[in-house]
Amino acid sequence: PRVLQERHIKLPNIKPLNEYIAYTKENKLGLGNPSLEEFLNQNSKDLAIYKLLGWSEAVNRMFPHISAKIPPFDKVKECLELMAQYADILIVSKTPYADLANYWEAQGIAEYVQIIAGQEMGSKGHHIEVAKKAGKYGGTSWL
């Protein structure tokens, strides 16, 4: 607190952020711009949430430019190829779908996965539940 006072830094109120997170949990939504926009439609007077959405949109716009310069980890392609022989691979990320799909395609590794799910498509927990309900997975089939 002392350093913040000395530098005249005021931390933002995190109550709106906590309310947004609670909203996504209550409505079984993933964290991301689509749910943030939905939350804003119901809480349109909260400037902090507008700022959060603006920041998130800016980060998403930068992703393709930054990620294009970052190759997958060494041996990822070989590992995915081996894993794909024994498992269905799902990619679930807080990154927008279009950016994920473009990156995985450009790196030549999309062919090894069954599903690429971005932030618009729900949480990791949601995807696990959907796959379980599909009937193919259950019990010890999951990691």
Confidence of residue 135 (pLDDT cuts 50, 70, 90): low
Quickly tell me which residue has 């796959």 as its tokens. 131
Q: What is the pTM of this model?
A: 0.67
Domain residues for 55? 1-70
Token digits of residue 60: 């998403």
Same domain, 108 and 127: yes
Same domain, 5 and 66: yes
Same domain, 1 and 61: yes
Quickly tell me which residue has 């709106």 as its tokens. 16
Confidence of residue 87 (pLDDT cuts 50, 70, 90): confident
| Nearest residue to 131 via CA among 6, 121, 81 | 121
Same domain, 102 and 132: yes
Same domain, 66 and 81: no
Same domain, 57 and 87: no
Say how many domains are in the chain: 2
Of 22, 40, 70, which residue is a domain's last? 70
Of 18, 44, 70, which residue is a domain's last? 70
Same domain, 86 and 142: yes
What are the tens digits of pLDDT across the range 25-71? 999 888 888 889 999 998 877 788 899 899 989 988 888 888 878 89
Of 18, 42, 70, which residue is a domain's last? 70
Token digits of residue 40: 């804003």
Confidence of residue 140 (pLDDT cuts 50, 70, 90): low
Same domain, 47 and 86: no
Stated as kind and residue range, the H or E segment containing 90 is strand 90-92
